[in-house]
Amino acid sequence: MSYPIHLQPSSNSRLADYDFNQIKFGQNPTDHLFSAAYRDGSWQDATVAPFQEFLISPLALCLHYGQNVFEGMKAFRLIDDEINIFRPEKHLKRLNRSLERMCMPEIPQELFIAALEQLIGIDHGWVSEIPGNSLYLRPLVFASEARLGVHEAAEYRFMIMAMPIANYYNGSVRVKVETSYTRAAEGGAGFAKQGGNYGPALLPTRLARQQGFDQVLWTDAKTHTFIEESGTMNVMFVIDDRLITPPLTDTILDGVNRDAVLMLAREQGIPVEERAIAYSELEAAFQQNKEVEAFGIGTAAVFTPIREIDILGKSYFPVNGEETLGKRLSTELNDIRSGRSSDRFGWNHIVQVREKTEIAST
């Protein structure tokens, strides 16, 4: 099936006034928004139109019972000036897994890719060529049916918004191993990128911040002994030259960057262990004065070194710097998606841009 996308170009671009050296993430969308409606069992009314507010009924189900699912992905300016969307098929797979868990309709691949291509095609000027900058893409699906009562909605909206994002490489974080609050339990929906996973994380994070930490390092719901993830990042450790990361279960987000880093490590012959890792194992390694690396990996910040881990009130300090394995692998990942090294895994999806004259004639 094909999905015609109606293009309604903005006559009022904000691009000329936007300062790419002062990016404040999350507040300044590009000129356009993609949107489609699900009704009578199918996606329709696909449009790329000027970004603007929209009306929603107070009875809309997403406002009450949490049927909302999202993605976070990026488009990059390649060194030859083309534009690349990083692994859109992989993101779509996860989006559809999240949607399935929340009883929401799947997004067909043709629609997802066409929507991204059209939106980025028209807003291509927003993909900054400043190294490290990129265009953040936020697909969002929510229940729009206006009919109170806990039930599967019959109507949904699918939107994609885009906004510039800066290079955050230099931020390292202090984390606290969380042993009382829980992010996700077995059998729940922790693996889904659904709104309900994030609200309950705010209070434990606020409490950790009050103690001087940036984030909590979640542990499993049952025993609070095994490390899961942190904020919106998957976590990895290097102990005895082995790259160790918790395995994918239904309580952990299946990160696209996690997957990419593991593929790069395996390509280089680095031993990779996807297995449960208890905080006591980290504690033991630190106590034996081993060099331990710890870092978070995810779309928003890409690579975030962890400079301090608090385990039950005791501080431990992972090694940091340019020579660490985590730093090297994340540089390699950035080199691929900016076109500085070969795209040997087929991760880069090149977008055709639309020039003003073409837009005018559609």
Stretch that binds ligand PLP, among 77-85, 225-233, 307-315, 322-330 (CB under 6 A): 225-233
State yes or no: residue 299 binds ligand PLP (CB under 6 A): yes
Q: How far is it, in rounded angstroms, from Cα 356 to Cα 29?
A: 20
Q: How far is it, in rounded angstroms, from Cα 172 to Cα 215?
A: 11
**Which is it for strands 6-7 and 173-177: parallel, antiparallel or unpaired?**
unpaired
Closest CB to ligand PLP among residues 117, 228: 228
Q: Which residue has the tokens 């019959």?
A: 154
Closest CB to ligand PLP among residues 62, 253: 253
Residue pair 189/325 in contact by the 8 Å Cβ criterion: no
What is the smallest separation between the CB atom of 194 and ligand PLP, expressed in angstroms?
Answer: 9
State yes or no: residue 102 binds ligand PLP (CB under 6 A): no
Determine which residue in the list 33, 177, 233, 301 makes contact with ligand PLP, applying CB under 6 A.
Answer: 233
Q: How far is it, in rounded angstroms, from Cα 353 to Cα 80?
A: 14
What is the smallest separation between the CB atom of 331 and ligand PLP, expressed in angstroms?
Answer: 16
Class of residue 302 by CB neighbours under 10 A (exposed 0-12, middle 13-18, buried 19+): buried
Query: One-letter amino acid identity for 172?
Result: S
What is the smallest separation between the CB atom of 300 and ligand PLP, expressed in angstroms?
Answer: 7
9: which DSSP letter? -
| 222 conformational bin, left if phi > 0, alpha if psi -120 to 50, beta if neither | alpha
State yes or no: residue 60 binds ligand PLP (CB under 6 A): no
Angle, helices 256-267 vs 325-337, to 10°: value is 110
Closest CB to ligand PLP among residues 31, 228: 228
Residue pair 351/120 in contact by the 8 Å Cβ criterion: yes
Q: How far is it, in rounded angstroms, from Cα 352 to Cα 58?
A: 39
Residues 71-100 interacting with ligand PLP (rule: CB under 6 A):
72
State yes or no: residue 219 binds ligand PLP (CB under 6 A): no
Determine which residue in the list 193, 337, 349, 354 makes contact with ligand PLP, applying CB under 6 A.
Answer: 193
State yes or no: residue 164 binds ligand PLP (CB under 6 A): no
Determine which residue in the list 123, 229, 293, 310 makes contact with ligand PLP, applying CB under 6 A.
Answer: 229
State yes or no: residue 143 binds ligand PLP (CB under 6 A): no
Residue pair 353/118 in contact by the 8 Å Cβ criterion: no
State yes or no: residue 256 binds ligand PLP (CB under 6 A): yes
State yes or no: residue 255 binds ligand PLP (CB under 6 A): yes
State yes or no: residue 244 binds ligand PLP (CB under 6 A): no
Site size with ligand PLP, rule: CB under 6 A:
13
What is the smallest separation between the CB atom of 190 and ligand PLP, expressed in angstroms?
Answer: 8
Q: Which residue has the tokens 């559809």?
A: 96
Site of interaction with ligand PLP (CB under 6 A):
72, 193, 229, 232-234, 253, 255-258, 298-299
